[in-house]
Amino acid sequence: MKPIKVMTVFGTRPEAIKMAPLVRELQRRSEFQEVTVVTAQHRQMLDQVLAIFKIQPDYDLDIMQQQQTLGQITSRVLLGLEEIIIKEKPDLVLVHGDTTTSFAASLATFYHETKLGHVEAGLRTWQKYSPYPEEMNRQMTDVLTDLYFAPTDESRANLLAEHHPAANIFVTGNTAIDALRQTVRPDYHHQVLDRIDPHHKIILVTMHRRENQGAPMKRVFQVMRQVVDQVSDVEIIFPVHLNPAVQTLAKDVLGNDPRIHLIKPLDVIDFHNLAAQAYFIMTDSGGVQEEAPSLGKPVLVLRDTTERPEGVAAGTLKLVGTQPDKVRAAMLLLLNDAATYQQMAQAKNPYGDGHAAEKICQAILTKIGRQQA
């Protein structure tokens, strides 16, 4: 049988981390011919991931601009991808999650009547602007999708509620867990730890969402600084996203404090291992909410909604939003109340067995292989 030509398209750090195990699996198996296309919606943060997983793209649209708008990302991905789809004629295009790369790539497949598979399909908050623009990116992507790879039963139920055909939905677990299986090591050390008193509690922070930029982010950073001033055995490690809106605010509010370590974005091996060594995590990231339950690390989610209810049900995630009193109270509770901490620190992984990539390949063979045979 002719190999099934599968084109993977991704552009940002989280898509790359979660597509990497799938790219590697597709490349390993003789039933597939894999074509890797990166949009480079992120440049440096994408390249970090490609280097770690040793992925050499076949095509690189190199679209990133400083402070790019959503319209610019969409149009550059759409136009760039069009030529590649026409030339390569893939049997299936795979996109991931909810970025503007994912949505624009989905639209390009529709315009060229090409089959689309959506990895991490079916996550929902059902609120148009929360998170923005991700909720609409994933809903619009799912409208155009042919094969749905849902990480959990909950995400499958969301897709069924929108009347997507059950026969095309596969519950596979999340490829984040596939990646996590390869990165965490007990003997890990990072140089930032040399600057931290080993008896201190480490809070690992990331924050980048568009709807949090500006006032919400500023008030959260102010609370973090106050808590560090108030509690003498706490230190923060914050690998700051390269978005200038985040960089400037982080330096202004959190800079020049010996117990707050603002560092460059970490590669994924460093990030997973520092997460494993942290006392707890504060984040508005999606991916980090998926990884923390496996690591048994409590997470204060700096958002009002989450599309990852599995982590809340597991007890690991607590939605605290960005209001100062709520954020401060949640931080102090985790630092001072051992029972609350223990309850949240149980390692319970709701995202599958770390073999999601294999399951996705198998589903593609079942659906597309059968048609081609």
Catalytic positions: 98, 120, 134, 208, 210, 241
Q: Which is nearer to ligand UDP, 32 or 279 (CB)?
A: 279
**What's phi and psi for 369, nearest 5 deg?**
-60, -40
Contact flags string 11-30 toward ligand UD1, x per CB under 6 A: -xxx----------------
Q: Shortest gap between Cβ of 336 and ligand UD1 (angstroms)?
A: 32
206 binds, among ligand UDP, ligand UD1, none (CB under 5 to 8 A by kind): ligand UDP
Q: Which is nearer to ligand UDP, 182 or 340 (CB)?
A: 182
Could you tell me where the beta strands, DSSP code E, fall in the chain?
4-10, 32-38, 59-60, 92-96, 116-119, 147-150, 169-171, 201-206, 234-239, 260-263, 280-283, 299-301, 317-319
Give the tokens for residue 163: 């009347």
Residue-wise burial string across 312-334, b where 16 or more C-beta atoms lie within 10 A, e elsewhere:
bebebbbbbbbeeeebbebbeeb
Interaction residues for ligand UD1, span 278-307 (CB under 6 A): none
Give the tokens for residue 358: 């294999």
317 binds, among ligand UD1, ligand UDP, none (CB under 5 to 8 A by kind): none
214 binds, among ligand UDP, ligand UD1, none (CB under 5 to 8 A by kind): none
Assess 80 for contact with ligand UD1 (CB under 6 A): no
Q: Please name which of 322, 366, 355, 328 lies closest in space to residue 24, comparing C-alpha atoms.
A: 355
* Selected binder of ligand UD1 within 68, 222, 340, 362 (CB under 6 A): 68
Q: Please name which of 209, 272, 4, 16 lies closest in space to residue 119, comparing C-alpha atoms.
A: 16
Q: Please name which of 178, 177, 204, 190 lies closest in space to residue 347, comparing C-alpha atoms.
A: 177
Assess 44 for contact with ligand UD1 (CB under 6 A): yes
Could you tell me where the beta strands, DSSP code E, fall in 151-211?
169-171, 201-206
Assess 256 for contact with ligand UD1 (CB under 6 A): no
Contact flags string 93-122 toward ligand UD1, x per CB under 6 A: -----xxx----------------------
The rounded radius of gyration (Å) of the Cα atoms in the chain is 20
Q: Which residues of this chain interact with ligand UDP, rule CB under 6 A? A: 13-14, 17, 206, 208, 239, 265-266, 268, 271-272, 285-288, 291
42 binds, among ligand UD1, ligand UDP, none (CB under 5 to 8 A by kind): ligand UD1
Q: Shortest gap between Cβ of 145 and ligand UD1 (angstroms)?
A: 17
Return the half-sphere exposure (C-beta side, CA atoms, 13 A cut-off) of residue 213.
13
Is residue 103 within 8 Å of 74, Cβ to Cβ? yes
Q: Which is nearer to ligand UD1, 66 or 371 (CB)?
A: 66
Q: Which is nearer to ligand UDP, 301 or 335 (CB)?
A: 301
Is residue 86 within 8 Å of 358, Cβ to Cβ? no
Give the tokens for residue 109: 């497949």
Q: Shortest gap between Cβ of 272 and ligand UDP (angstroms)?
A: 6
Assign 192 to helix, strand or coil.
helix
288 binds, among ligand UD1, ligand UDP, none (CB under 5 to 8 A by kind): ligand UDP
Contact flags string 181-220 toward ligand UD1, x per CB under 6 A: ---------------------------x-x----------
> What whole-number distance in Å separates Cα of residue 70 and Cα of residue 18?
22
Q: Shortest gap between Cβ of 53 and ligand UDP (angstroms)?
A: 11
> What whole-number distance in Å separates Cα of residue 244 and Cα of residue 222?
18
Q: Shortest gap between Cβ of 216 and ligand UD1 (angstroms)?
A: 14
Q: Shortest gap between Cβ of 267 and ligand UDP (angstroms)?
A: 6
Whether the bond between 131 and the residue before it is cis, its omega within 30 degrees of 0, is yes
Q: Please name which of 302, 307, 312, 306 lies closest in space to residue 348, comparing C-alpha atoms.
A: 312
Q: Which range of residues in 35-43, 78-86, 171-179, 289-297 is near ligand UD1 by CB under 6 A?
A: 35-43
- By CB under 6 A, name the binding residues for ligand UD1: 12-14, 41-45, 64-68, 70, 98-100, 133-134, 208, 210, 242-244
